[in-house]
């Protein structure tokens, strides 16, 4: 399998870091915009879409700042890849940004970015922050 490459995206939000964090770190928040349904048993999150289910391990979290998940595909290189949400607040303007770090194969990066753009648009709608 080809080695995946890291890419990052940044989105500006008109919402508090605390509110945004709830939508990034809890099953109920994630099921509002990221997947059709999300369940968790401890650190293991199950993301459910129409006809598929994927599991991810919550491997890092810092309240109101960062959440990192690692997909559990059963592949040898699972530990190398993750997706991360980072909430950043500009010291001067107090603008809130959401940074997303993800991995994709080189020929799928643009498609992955478009997917993120769509689901972040859903998140902004849910938050009323578009």
Tens digits of per-residue pLDDT, 8-31?
Answer: 999 999 999 999 999 999 999 999
CA 116, 122, 124: angle at the middle one, nearest 5?
A: 100
pTM, full prediction:
0.90
- Report pLDDT for 15: 92
- Asked if residue 1 has pLDDT above 60, the reply is no
pLDDT of residue 61: 96
Place of tokens 């990052």: 8
Distance between CA atoms of 95 and 79, rounded to whole angstroms?
Answer: 33
- Residue the block writes with tokens 């709830």: 22
State the residue for tokens 């491997």.
59
Give the pLDDT of residue 59.
95
Is the CB of residue 107 less than 8 Å from the CB of residue 6?
no
Average pLDDT, the chain: 93
Domains and CATH numbers, the chain: 22-127 (3.30.530.20)
User: What pLDDT sits at residue 3?
Assistant: 84
The answer on pLDDT for 78 being more than 70 is: no
């Amino acid at each position: 399998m080809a080695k995946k490459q890291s890419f990052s995206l940044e989105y500006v939000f008109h919402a508090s870091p605390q509110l945004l964090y709830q939508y990034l770190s809890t099953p109920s928040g994630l099921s509002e915009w990221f997947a059709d349904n999300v369940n968790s048993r401890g650190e293991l999150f199950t993301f459910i879409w129409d006809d598929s289910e994927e599991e991810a391990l919550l491997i890092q979290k810092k309240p109101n700042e960062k959440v990192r998940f690692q997909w559990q595909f059963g592949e040898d290189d699972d530990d190398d890849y993750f997706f991360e949400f980072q909430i950043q607040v500009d010291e001067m303007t107090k603008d809130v940004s959401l940074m997303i770090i993800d991995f994709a194969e080189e020929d799928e990066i643009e498609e992955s970015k478009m997917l993120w753009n769509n689901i972040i648009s859903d998140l902004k709608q849910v938050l009323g922050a578009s």
